[in-house]
Structure 1
């Protein structure tokens, strides 16, 4: 086998994530087009965009379970094929159904990228996993910056149709396909270190319960009757969460006899992803009356996130991952509350900057926590966390869309601040758990 080209594979992975990120910026820009030009309500747009998130989750879960069987290379080329089909279908979308189907393929492509590239980056850089995962994930906010600028330039300045914006995706798609072509891709870190598949499953804590819970979440996101039934009474979600927690306890402690650290991180990931992605996907509707282009706000937010992630190494080293996450939760809460009362360009920009610093480290550091503190969870652990984050967002999008239409954007932002408030408490607990674990290992 040829020698692994570490630099080329890392650049190819970043470009694949760039395609994923630009699709997010494009959706944030064109959601209004499907409301005004094609007659969809905000809630319908939210439901049509949801497959981009739960499709992501499906691909990540499937990739996590099977990546070591079918090999990383297969997942990479599956991502390429799904991206290609999804982009073509999005260009042809004109109604709810066609938009929905296009986002299914785009979601599957995006999820396959993360399912393949997160463990690939961790394998390529075994001594700097959290640092390099943050640098890899620079290209998510970085791609949104690029997509946001292109959206402003192509649609707002040149006045080209939205299809011209979507067509830009073919450029990074072709580049990452070229860079991956013919390259040897190493086995995942779990395989290389000799950890068995059974042991990987065991270290997830409660893999069966978590997987079934995510399937149920996907059903809630896509079947309106189930969603309406659950949201009709505030007691129902609490009861469902309680039942899931009991089954996780039984499977993790009674059957697998292992720490429930991973299920706890899984719970936190649901909230961190919803805080970040739910807000940025609805940025156009949330801030359209604040006297400044929402796409400028999106570029500012994601630009700050990109810079922060690139220089994350020293911060993670000084504070450790749980400390970074706790600070992020505090700043995210402050940012959402400030945005909920902001009026005018200056106040909105300042509030958005606080929010950006808050959500900056959430995603890569959460995956880094799994890789650093639960290493035997392997590629499956990273895939479950990424998938869970996106399926949670798919549930939040239609709820936020309905709230924007009924309660207004400022109330919606204020209500969203509840999520990082819960995370503040959760990350304090996570710090205590990890400190005790480290002390026990010394």
Structure 2
């Protein structure tokens, strides 16, 4: 660690995540541009935005499997290149196809940032993993605050084109590229601690089944026939989930002979990410008639998330990660239900604040839980969780878009509350597991 510039590398990582976050705020604002000015339906916009999520997953999985072979430095510069190309293509987007392709590159860039920087942060701060991961992930909601306020200023106040808003991404992109330039970047913690690649794979529990499940989810998000077959049936989704669960148990217990803790965390990540990201990506449509600008609500939500994550260390120390996650799930249910019934600016902001408290700790604490309780999963474990979270969101987006058009925003919000309700039960189980492990 003596030869490393920890502060510079951490700041560079945060700015890379800032670029990722601003792209989320920009998508949340310009979905109305593509439905209004370019004639796309809400479902088409949801599908065109989906690559930003499954592309993220592809990059994260690839990074998790190969980061120790190609080195962290290479993945970082891949992120920079993909971001650059994606931003340029987004500036030129005018229809479904061009919007889709631009989001493929942006998604790959965003995923490469997480694939490289999550393990980089845990390597830089081995004794403060959860705390520093939360501080690193401050810049995701923090970036959405910045992006949403910029969107309101550039488009709504100054009446400039949405392309001007997108072009502002070149500023943090250039700065994080400069900060990483010429710096020594360390090996991942897994390599430094001497855990073999084979042992890392084994500790994931069911790497083959999990990877194939994510590939299927990507297909379901992008092939309309598969998507409609799943969403149009009551029993088929349950059957698919059941088959995957059985295969995970067989691979984890019979083949690898190891605890299924990581697959359990993986399943929870699908729901936490969909709750947080699915809602915030459709916030413009979900809260358009609440008496307050949706971008202001997005800024409130993500601003509270940023503050909460920055001071997460003390809370995690007192409650431990499962306790924090359980509280988050409860607040998320309450926030979504309140948003589905409230009207008027004041109560909408209050309800959004409750939702923000709920989703605040989901993402970094889920990744931190894997790093704390399944450390031998290494960079692969963190990448699988991040990738799975985004590919789950890519499935949810078009479903939410169709629901908004048919059932309306209020019913869509109410239905989304089912996801964190399931998580309440899941995190109670996780709390018992951690408690019993400490006793043992």
Q: TM-score range by the shorter chain?
A: over 0.9
In structure 2, C-alpha distance between the alignment counterparts of 1:65 and 1:323, rounded to whole Å: 30
Aligned to 1:263: 263
Q: Equivalences for 1:163-174 in 2 at 5 Å?
A: 163-174=163-174
In structure 2, C-alpha distance between the alignment counterparts of 1:262 and 1:130, rounded to whole Å: 16
State the Cα distance separating 1:2 from its structure 2 match.
Answer: 8.4
Aligned to 2:213: 213
Aligned to 1:242: 242
List runs of 5+ in structure 1 lacking aligned partners: none
Q: Equivalences for 1:76-115 in 2 at 5 Å?
A: 76-115=76-115
State the Cα distance separating 1:438 from its structure 2 match.
Answer: 2.2
State the Cα distance separating 1:239 from its structure 2 match.
Answer: 0.2
In structure 2, C-alpha distance between the alignment counterparts of 1:163 and 1:245, rounded to whole Å: 45
State the Cα distance separating 1:230 from its structure 2 match.
Answer: 1.3
Aligned to 1:302: 302
State the Cα distance separating 1:329 from its structure 2 match.
Answer: 0.2
User: How big is each residue's C-alpha offset from its partner over 1:20-72, in whole Å with a ceiling of 9 and x where there is no partner?
Assistant: 00000000000000000000000000000000000000000000000000000
In structure 2, C-alpha distance between the alignment counterparts of 1:400 and 1:150, rounded to whole Å: 26
In structure 2, C-alpha distance between the alignment counterparts of 1:231 and 1:100, rounded to whole Å: 22
Q: Aligned with 2:205: secondary structure?
A: coil
In structure 1, C-alpha distance between the alignment counterparts of 2:58 and 2:344, rounded to whole Å: 40
State the Cα distance separating 1:3 from its structure 2 match.
Answer: 1.1
In structure 1, C-alpha distance between the alignment counterparts of 2:310 and 2:128, rounded to whole Å: 13
Q: Kindly indicate whether the alpha-carbon contact (under 8 Å) linking 1:2 and 1:184 is maintained by their aligned counterparts in 2.
A: no
In structure 1, C-alpha distance between the alignment counterparts of 2:213 and 2:45, rounded to whole Å: 25
User: How big is each residue's C-alpha offset from its partner over 1:301-357, in whole Å with a ceiling of 9 and x where there is no partner?
Assistant: 000000000000000000000000000000000000000001000110000000000
State the Cα distance separating 1:290 from its structure 2 match.
Answer: 0.6
Aligned to 2:65: 65
In structure 2, C-alpha distance between the alignment counterparts of 1:371 and 1:417, rounded to whole Å: 28
Aligned to 1:184: 184
Q: Aligned with 1:40: secondary structure?
A: coil
State the Cα distance separating 1:110 from its structure 2 match.
Answer: 0.1
State the Cα distance separating 1:173 from its structure 2 match.
Answer: 0.2
In structure 1, C-alpha distance between the alignment counterparts of 2:342 and 2:430, rounded to whole Å: 32
In structure 2, C-alpha distance between the alignment counterparts of 1:331 and 1:347, rounded to whole Å: 16
Aligned to 1:415: 415
Q: Aligned with 2:414: secondary structure?
A: helix
Is residue 2:400 matched to residue 1:400?
yes
State the Cα distance separating 1:232 from its structure 2 match.
Answer: 1.5
In structure 1, C-alpha distance between the alignment counterparts of 2:297 and 2:245, rounded to whole Å: 38
In structure 2, C-alpha distance between the alignment counterparts of 1:302 and 1:270, rounded to whole Å: 20
Q: Aligned with 1:428: secondary structure?
A: helix
In structure 1, C-alpha distance between the alignment counterparts of 2:236 and 2:41, rounded to whole Å: 26
User: How big is each residue's C-alpha offset from its partner over 1:7-32, in whole Å with a ceiling of 9 and x where there is no partner?
Assistant: 00000000000000000000000000
In structure 1, C-alpha distance between the alignment counterparts of 2:123 and 2:438, rounded to whole Å: 23
In structure 1, C-alpha distance between the alignment counterparts of 2:44 and 2:234, rounded to whole Å: 23
User: How big is each residue's C-alpha offset from its partner over 1:128-169, in whole Å with a ceiling of 9 and x where there is no partner?
Assistant: 000000000000000000001100000000000000000000
Q: Equivalences for 1:38-437 in 2 at 5 Å?
A: 38-437=38-437
Aligned to 2:11: 11
State the Cα distance separating 1:434 from its structure 2 match.
Answer: 1.6
In structure 1, C-alpha distance between the alignment counterparts of 2:439 and 2:63, rounded to whole Å: 34
The count of aligned residue pairs is 440
In structure 1, C-alpha distance between the alignment counterparts of 2:166 and 2:333, rounded to whole Å: 33
In structure 2, C-alpha distance between the alignment counterparts of 1:378 and 1:2, rounded to whole Å: 23
TM-score (norm 1): 0.99
Q: Aligned with 2:4: secondary structure?
A: coil
